[in-house]
Chains A and B, each alone.
Chain A
């Protein structure tokens, strides 16, 4: 700036630093360098410079904020929660070991975010030597514990994190009209297209419906066939030979039964065993026997027997 004040005037002879008529090499150099650009230079816009400075500072602050958030406890808690959510969502479809790892990692990151990064921490700022000692971070401790746990409790881990697939009892019962019972039938039952095991329990047939713990309430498609196995000579002709049943039921557990290993579904399925043609209408040939003269006659309307 001192040179700027001299303008284009040559320094006076004999003045200090410039007392001699011959300028020093340095002065000559400086003068040669500054003379060109300074000839048409305009003063810089202070406001623009300030704006640029502020923008730069804001940018740095934004980067700083992002970095601050990414290193904050809240961020790690969120990441940990996301990993745990992933474990929850995939527990029914992945291997138990993978679920276990997701859960452990999720818990570790979550705990890191809550502030349990270090088990012990010592910092000295005095004197020329500054040192900081962190004793085993929380995640490291957990990793160690996990490794040890995997080795020592592998079977328990598998049991704890295996897919929560259970079986509910779906009860089939007859209508209870006293005409026949399901003891005269064998069953073939499928749920959502997959055959399921079934057994007889007294007068009922019970099928095992597989379900996962977090999927109750959804609807399942039941397809069932019941085949009459009564001996031919003692067959009740009112009972259907084959009953096909297609029904959609809600996978809703009986609240009084839900604590059992095999809880019952809330509603049993009632199977109508009597064939369609004898459900409500008496056999016309039987009614014909009512006539004392032995049968229906032309022009006689059939009786309007209704059973409801």
Chain B
């Protein structure tokens, strides 16, 4: 009797181990499809990596499970708007795939992204949206405008307090990130609503002093209108604190905000 029980237990352990190993191996195999493949590296200016085929992006969850860790791992190297050519090529390759997934998968893919992302991913994308490469900026800005939410908007707001983002050659990035910020405004919880209001107050005089920033002024106007959409009635989220599952920003340490007073505030 005892021997039979041990036998069944052994079979069960073996089966579970085999299943885990097979799953791990399958996952590893699927992620190997997202390795980098250089197409053209004749010179740094033309360094390009091969886009992933649509067939490996069909299952958005599996693809994002492989791609988002790649993006998060870039945080160590992509920590300024000036991205090195090889990192830039890899960034464009990965963000191009993510853009394809979000574009083809719609809301389900966005929710998959949100389930898997973290602030490191958003930080890298924010640097990409204000980078020195137009293709990278477009990819990152479009992804961010799809996936940004109350759980990650603090990173975008923080970038907009970087004094360097107001330099003439950085205004495309500023415009991109301001556009991303407008997305969350109508659904912003109290903390984010207040932070967005402070951002609007901070940015408006800066942009007003610029002679060639009409588009940025329109985006700021849009931010104000979308913030004003929330009324002082209970059904609007600005009247509620962030729920527990959306409090990643509580643990975020601002890089640029709060250098001159309290601008990005969560909790106390």
Chain A contact residues, CB within 8 Å of chain B: 174-181, 183-184, 202-203, 230-231, 233-238, 278-280, 282-283, 285-287, 289-293, 297, 299-301, 303-308
Contact = CB atoms under 8 A, between A and B. Distances in A.
B134 A304 contact: no
B165 to A, nearest CB: 14
A306 B219 contact: yes
Contacts of A278: 103
**Residue of A290, A292, A300, A301 with most partner-chain B CB within 10 A:** A290
Interface of A is mostly: loop
A53 to B, nearest CB: 84
Interface string B87-105: 0000011111101101110
Contact of B48 (A176, A282, A297): A176
Nearest to A180: B51
Contacts of B102: 286
Given A291-B187, A305-B179, A305-B180, 17 more contacts: A176-B48, A177-B92, A178-B93, A179-B103, A180-B54, A202-B40, A234-B53, A234-B55, A235-B54, A237-B103, A238-B104, A290-B149, A300-B186, A301-B225, A307-B137, A307-B138, A308-B134
Interface residues of B, number: 60
Contact of B172 (A177, A181, A300, A308): A308
Contact of A238 (B100, B134, B215): B100
Contact of B237 (A178, A234, A292): A292
B176 A283 contact: no
Contacts of B100: 179-180, 236, 238
A82 B40 CA distance: 50
Contacts of A203: 39-40, 48, 50
A236 B104 contact: yes
A308 B110 contact: no
Interface in B217-258: 218-219, 222-223, 225-226, 229, 237
B162 to A, nearest CB: 18
Contact of B99 (A178, A289, A308): A178
A75 B155 CA distance: 85
Interface of B: 39-40, 48-55, 57-58, 92-97, 99-100, 102-104, 106-107, 110-111, 134-135, 137-139, 141-142, 145-146, 148-150, 172, 175-176, 178-180, 182-187, 215, 218-219, 222-223, 225-226, 229, 237
**Residue of A286, A287, A291, A306 with most partner-chain B CB within 10 A:** A306
B48 A301 contact: no
A280 B141 CA distance: 9
Nearest to A279: B138
Contacts of A301: 222, 225-226, 229
Contacts of A181: 50-51
B179 A179 contact: no
Nearest to B58: A234
Contacts of A283: 103, 106
11 contacts: A178-B93, A180-B54, A180-B100, A234-B53, A279-B138, A293-B187, A300-B186, A301-B225, A303-B182, A304-B219, A307-B179
Contacts of A279: 138
B103 A238 contact: yes
A85 B172 CA distance: 57
Contacts of A304: 178-179, 182, 218-219, 222-223
A307 B141 contact: yes
A230 B54 contact: yes
Contacts of B179: 303-307
B107 A178 contact: no
Contacts of A306: 141, 175-176, 178-179, 215, 219
A287 B183 contact: yes
Nearest to B107: A289
Contact of A290 (B54, B57, B172, B183): B183
A236 B93 CA distance: 15
A293 B106 CA distance: 17
Nearest to A178: B96
Contact of B146 (A184, A287, A292): A287
Contact of B138 (A177, A234, A286, A303): A177
A202 B225 CA distance: 49
A308 B48 contact: no
Contacts of B139: 177-179
